């Protein structure tokens, strides 16, 4: 976190801020995830890497830079990563996030530069250079992370935990059984779920309850700052897309919930399960097969989020945006 304004977003217990790397594909909910990671005093955001997913690689990288610019995070390292999944054609989510990947309001032209380095190299270098193990939070397809583990397996020693948004036990959004991030690059997801790294899966079963509704949009508008003034219409657009697509009159902040849980696991309840990723299904490719009754006898490889505290989650989001509003107003 940078800036002079004292931020109330600390987790009781104190201690040094946790080093985080956010790998994302902004995306409306990725944008909120970025904002929480930037605003939280107890997170040391080492950088943001981008991947193709909600939109093409060029657009998601551009959106990350625009979001950093909007919130005045001018020195945040941002590195662009893989342009397509490991073995498949890219599928985007323009029907949810629009043709820019962040439709619904005008974001500023980016004044935050993109690193010359590829995201996978940036992740490798930054993780290895960190004095403390890093929490990795992927909120897009897992292509960059799979490439990182393949290219530099020694980073495993320096990864505290991977807390990813993706998959589901019972929910789905892109096919009857698959969640978007896993479906777009199932081979990459398989590599991550079989990596043996400590893993938390924040899937659709919980993220479809991380909802911002009409009253929340009004509250955001009432904050009246330069960041909330842009975030409110963006989230209204996002909610509109979900209404058309799913009859849901709300914005599910999937990715922000992953950051919130990575930051403070006490806001969620998790269970240890074995999770397998279907890569060869005739109808089921991209499904996360969660062995809730341990019928396979396989050792659990993930902590799966099953519940969370919605009021605490909403407070985290409002505190983050209010902080960024105040800081951006001070900057002007």
Q: Say how far apart CA 278 and CA 59 lie, in whole Å.
A: 28
Residue 27 engages Ca ion in binding (rule: CB under 5 A): yes
Q: Which of 30/278 has CB closer to Ca ion?
A: 30
- Number of Cβ within a 10 Å radius of residue 157: 9
Please pick, among 28, 97, 254, 274, the residue that the annotation labels catalytic. 254
Q: Name the binder of 279 from Ca ion, ligand BDR, none, CB < 5-8 A by kind.
A: none
Number of residues this chain uses to bind ligand BDR (CB under 6 A): 15
- CA 322, CA 328: separation in Å to the nearest integer? 10
Cis peptide bond N-terminal to 113, omega within 30: no
In the bound complex, what is the minimum distance in angstroms from residue 40's beta carbon to ligand BDR?
19
Q: Which is nearer to Ca ion, 25 or 264 (CB)?
A: 25
Going by C-alpha positions, the residue among 162, 203, 206 that lies closest to residue 179 is: 203
Residue of the chain from 34, 39, 82, 96 that contacts ligand BDR (CB under 6 A): 96
Contact flag: residue 139 with Ca ion (CB under 5 A): yes
Length of the chain equals: 332
Whole-angstrom Cα Rg for the chain: 18
Q: Where are the alpha helices (DSSP H) in 136-272?
A: 143-151, 180-184, 186-193, 204-207, 214-223, 228-246, 254-263
Sketch the per residue contact string, 302 through 321, with ligand BDR: x for CB under 6 A, - otherwise: --------------------
Choose the stretch contacting ligand BDR; rule: CB under 6 A; options: 1-9, 174-182, 231-239, 269-277: 174-182
Tell me: does residue 205 bind ligand BDR (CB under 6 A).
no
| Residue 255 interacts with ligand BDR (CB under 6 A): yes or no | yes
Which is closer to ligand BDR, CB of 39 or CB of 256?
256
140 near Ca ion, judged by CB under 5 A: yes
What are the residues whose beta carbons fall under 8 Å from the beta carbon of 69, sequence distance 6 or more? 107, 108, 109, 110, 111, 112
Contact with ligand BDR (CB under 6 A) among 180, 217, 237, 242: 180
By CB under 6 A, the residues from 206 to 245 that bind ligand BDR are none
Pick the closer one to Ca ion by CB: 34 or 290.
34
Q: Is 179 in the site for ligand BDR (CB under 6 A)?
A: yes
Is residue 124 close enough to count as binding ligand BDR by CB under 6 A?
A: no
Query: Taking the complex as a whole, how short is the minimal distance between the CB of residue 295 and ligand BDR, in angstroms?
Result: 26
Part in contact with ligand BDR (CB under 6 A); list of ranges 148-156, 173-181, 239-247, 263-271:
173-181
- Using CA atoms, how far residue 113 sits from 62, 74, 318, in Å, is 10, 8, 27
Residue 180 binding result from ligand BDR, Ca ion, none, given CB thresholds of 5 to 8 Å by partner type: ligand BDR
- Tell me which of 3, 22, 23, 30 binds ligand BDR, using CB under 6 A: 30
Candidates 7, 127, 181, 228: give the one binding ligand BDR (CB under 6 A): 181
- Its sign, for the CA torsion 270, 272, 277, 282, is negative
To the query of whether residue 74 is one of the catalytic residues in this protein, the response is no
CA atoms within 13 A on the CB side of 194: 13
What DSSP line would sit under 111-176, residue for residue? Answer: -SPPPSS-HHHHHHHHHHH-SSPEEEEE-S-SHHHHHHHHH-GGGGGGEEEEEEE---SS--SSSS
Closest by CA to 125, choosing from 155, 160, 161, is 155
Name the residues that contact Ca ion, by CB under 5 A.
25, 27, 30, 139-140, 255
Binding footprint of ligand BDR on the chain (CB under 6 A): 27, 29-30, 54, 93, 96, 139-140, 165, 173, 179-181, 254-255
Catalytic amino acids? 254
């Amino acid at each position: 976190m940078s800036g002079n304004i004292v931020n109330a977003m600390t987790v009781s217990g104190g201690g040094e801020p946790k080093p985080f790397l956010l790998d994302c594909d902004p995306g409306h909910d990725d944008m909120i995830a970025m904002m929480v990671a930037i605003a939280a005093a107890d997170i040391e955001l080492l950088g943001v890497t981008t991947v193709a997913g909600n939109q093409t690689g060029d657009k998601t990288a551009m959106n990350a830079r625009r979001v950093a610019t909007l919130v005045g995070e001018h020195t945040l390292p941002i590195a662009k990563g893989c342009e397509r999944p490991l073995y498949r054609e890219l599928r985007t989510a323009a029907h949810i996030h629009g043709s820019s990947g962040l439709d619904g309001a005008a974001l500023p032209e980016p004044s935050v530069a993109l690193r010359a380095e590829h995201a996978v190299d940036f992740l490798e270098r930054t993780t290895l250079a960190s004095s403390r193990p890093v929490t990795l939070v992927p909120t897009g397809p897992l292509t960059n992370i799979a490439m990182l583990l393949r290219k530099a397996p020694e980073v495993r020693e320096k990864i505290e935990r991977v807390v990813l948004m993706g998959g589901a036990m019972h929910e789905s959004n892109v096919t009857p059984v698959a969640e978007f991030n896993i479906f777009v690059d199932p081979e990459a997801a398989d590599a991550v779920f079989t990596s043996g790294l400590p893993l938390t899966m924040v899937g659709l079963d919980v993220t479809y309850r991380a909802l911002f509704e009409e009253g929340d949009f009004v509250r955001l508008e009432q904050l009246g700052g330069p960041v909330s003034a842009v975030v409110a219409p963006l989230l209204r657009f996002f909610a509109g897309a979900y209404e058309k697509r799913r009859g849901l009159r709300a914005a599910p902040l999937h990715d922000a919930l992953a950051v919130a849980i990575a930051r403070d696991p006490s806001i969620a309840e998790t269970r240890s399960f074995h999770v397998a990723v279907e890569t060869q299904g005739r109808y089921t490719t991209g499904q996360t097969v969660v062995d809730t009754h341990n019928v396979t006898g396989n050792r659990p490889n993930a902590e799966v989020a099953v519940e969370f505290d919605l009021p605490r989650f909403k407070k985290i989001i409002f505190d983050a945006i209010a902080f960024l509003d105040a800081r951006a107003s001070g900057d002007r």
